[in-house]
């Protein structure tokens, strides 16, 4: 019998597989998509995520960045990391680096879908395989979570995202966040001649990516020609009843998600993976629920606060306030980054 079956071969799933294999467990990853897997995301890894990857001997190629610049009209504010640097990295490059490390540790990959889950006191049956434990790392839409009826209704208006890459040399060593009344644009350097632009918004606009980008005219003027098609994601919010259901544990986006506003999705997924494996190795799988809540509490609170501010009349005061208190901005960014 396999020790651990992982449904989903994205960053959270591969990190879980890597950490479990390092702990001496036998691991199989079930993933229907061909590698490398792409996803609509901001592609900016915070210093904490970079350090977590390095601890797993995963070092993807990318472009270092030193902080965040928020831009709202003519106002802007810069916050810099106090410890370490972030990394702008194509999602496909991140996936390739994680996959290489997983293969080196003997992780088996099976191209299949998990369409049913059966479990008893001794193990779990899924995708024609039997394992002691099943980890659902199958993303926002998580078929495993749906099969187990763990979804709760959302509480907030739906938000969506779309990402595209443009041929232009990065003009700063920062990730830029451009703010509009009903959208944000995240600009991340991912190569010497390429930036990624991820747009977050509440209501899809006729005209697709170009119409959304037109809400940020100053940014649009700086960009070169697009070099990748637009790739979308959402709605984002996913509320989950619990992260442990018998011998099935949820990790990453499948375990619950609020919004990519703070850019911490990968970092949280890596931390959750480490906590999950530690709980399994210690023979205390039920402790993972508490660990998940402890790891995500601060980010969820901050993200919820920012979403509320984005919908309030105070929105236009956020960037001037950050500019007026640069030390506070740096300190907050440092806490977020770690």
For the segment 209-251, what is each residue's pLDDT rounded down to a tens digit? 999 999 999 999 999 999 999 999 989 999 999 999 999 999 9
Domain boundaries, the chain: 2-61+91-154+237-308
- State the pairing for strand pair 183-191/175-180: antiparallel
User: Which CATH homologous superfamily contains domain 2-61+91-154+237-308?
Assistant: FAD/NAD(P)-binding domain (3.50.50.60)
**DSSP letter string over 54-80?**
HHTT-----EEE-EEEEEETTEEEEEE
Per-residue CA distances from 38 to 33, 82, 98, 302, 308 (Å): 10, 31, 13, 27, 30
**Residue 299's pLDDT band (boundaries 50, 70, 90)?**
confident
- Span of 159-163, 280-284, 298-302 with lowest mean pLDDT: 298-302
Contact criterion met (CB below 8 Å) for 41 and 233: yes
Q: In DSSP terms, which residues pair with 167 in a beta bridge?
A: 194
pLDDT of residue 337: 62
Specify the pTM.
Answer: 0.94
DSSP, res 46? -
Token couple for 248: 């099935």
């Amino acid at each position: 019998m396999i020790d651990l079956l992982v449904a989903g071969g994205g960053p959270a799933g591969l990190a879980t597989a890597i950490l479990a294999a390092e702990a001496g467990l036998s691991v199989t990853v079930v993933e229907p998509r061909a590698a490398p897997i792409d996803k609509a995301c901001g592609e900016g890894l915070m210093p904490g995520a970079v350090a977590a990857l390095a601890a797993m001997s995963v070092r993807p190629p990318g472009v270092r960045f030193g902080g965040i610049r928020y831009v709202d009209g003519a106002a802007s504010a810069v916050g810099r990391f106090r410890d370490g640097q972030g990394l702008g990295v194509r999602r496909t490059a991140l996936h390739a680096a994680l996959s290489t490390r997983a293969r080196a540790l003997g992780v088996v990959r099976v191209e299949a879908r998990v369409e049913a889950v059966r479990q008893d006191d001794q193990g779990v049956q899924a995708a024609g395989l039997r394992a002691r434990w099943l980890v659902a790392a199958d993303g926002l839409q998580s078929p495993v979570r749906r099969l187990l009826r763990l979804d709760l209704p959302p509480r907030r208006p739906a938000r969506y995202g779309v990402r595209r890459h443009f041929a232009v040399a990065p003009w700063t060593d920062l990730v830029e966040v451009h703010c509009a009344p009903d959208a944000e644009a995240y600009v991340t350097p991912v190569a010497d001649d390429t930036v990624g632009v991820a747009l977050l918004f509440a209501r899809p606009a006729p005209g697709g990516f170009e119409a959304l980008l037109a809400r940020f005219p100053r940014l649009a003027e700086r960009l070169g020609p697009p070099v990748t098609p637009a790739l979308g994601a959402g709605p984002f919010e996913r509320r989950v009843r619990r992260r442990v259901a018998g011998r099935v544990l949820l990790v990453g986006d499948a375990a619950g998600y609020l919004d990519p506003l703070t850019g911490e999705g990968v970092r949280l997924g890596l931390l959750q993976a480490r906590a999950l494996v530690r709980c399994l190795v210690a023979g205390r799988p039920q402790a993972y629920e508490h660990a998940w809540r402890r790891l995500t509490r601060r980010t969820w609170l901050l993200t919820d606060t920012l979403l509320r501010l984005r919908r309030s009349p105070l929105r236009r005061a956020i960037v001037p306030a950050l500019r007026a208190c640069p030390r506070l901005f740096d300190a907050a960014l440092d806490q977020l980054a770690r």
